[in-house]
Amino acid sequence: MDNDEEEHLKAAFGESSDDEHLADRLEKETVEIRDSTVWERVEKIDGLWLCRNFLSVHHQSDLLSAILNEGWFVEDSINQAMRFGDLPSWATEVSDLIRETVESVDLPVLPADLLWREPLFDQLIVNLYQPGEGICAHIDLLRFEDGIAIVSLESPCVMRFSPAEKEEDEDVDVLLSPGSLILMSGDARYRWKHEINRKQVGFQVWEGEEIDQKRRISITLRKLCQA
């Protein structure tokens, strides 16, 4: 491993506490994730898949540190950062891990033409939500290709999906827990809006229980359409 590769791994995953090589540590975490991840197809919405345990608690902590070390959210008035093209090394590692995790299961989580495009993602949004903050219902801009990934850190939240043309009567709520990954393709990407609707007191309800929400950080990865 050359020095640049080692520094990239340090930025994404932190220092190793037991002197094991960073590459070995990354390989070990990837094997553990491949063996333990569980994918759920969200009923009623074609192309919507949820992996609740995508990131271990340790990996979440390292990823959060890498994001905060970027210095994007030093000022309270800033709650979003966007990058196009060459992504930070930790974001590329997350993208690679998404591909590894999807490839490891015999499920139609993401169509093959999307899974093996290069790069898988080349656009990044990191959003920081304070208690009481959310995002209105929307479909991502058509300047982005099919296949969108969202990774959640810190506080859980409920994401609501609603049909764009009201052909379906029911909204669908999905709990995004810390360390979870949600993938949207096909109908889920193009025919369903998604939103995070929070009350001003910062509570949401899931299965009859209020969720006391604190700060949440989301990582959205997308691929720009080619001209």
pLDDT at 214: 87
Beta-carbon-side half-sphere exposure of residue 154 (alpha carbons within 13 Å): 17
User: Rounded distance, CA 9 to CA 12, Å?
Assistant: 5
Q: pLDDT by residue (tens digit) across 122-145?
A: 999 999 998 888 899 999 999 999
pTM comes to: 0.82
CB 121 within 8 A of CB 221: yes
pLDDT at 200: 56
pLDDT-derived band at 114, boundaries 50, 70, 90: very high
Q: What is the average pLDDT across 146-175?
A: 90
Fold of 39-222: Jelly Rolls (2.60.120)
Q: pLDDT by residue (tens digit) across 190-227?
A: 999 999 987 655 578 888 888 878 899 999 999 999 87
CB 27 within 8 A of CB 93: no
**What secondary structure does DSSP assign to 64-89, as a single string?**
HHHHHTTTTTSSTT--EEEEESSPPH
CB 154 within 8 A of CB 64: yes
pLDDT-derived band at 146, boundaries 50, 70, 90: very high
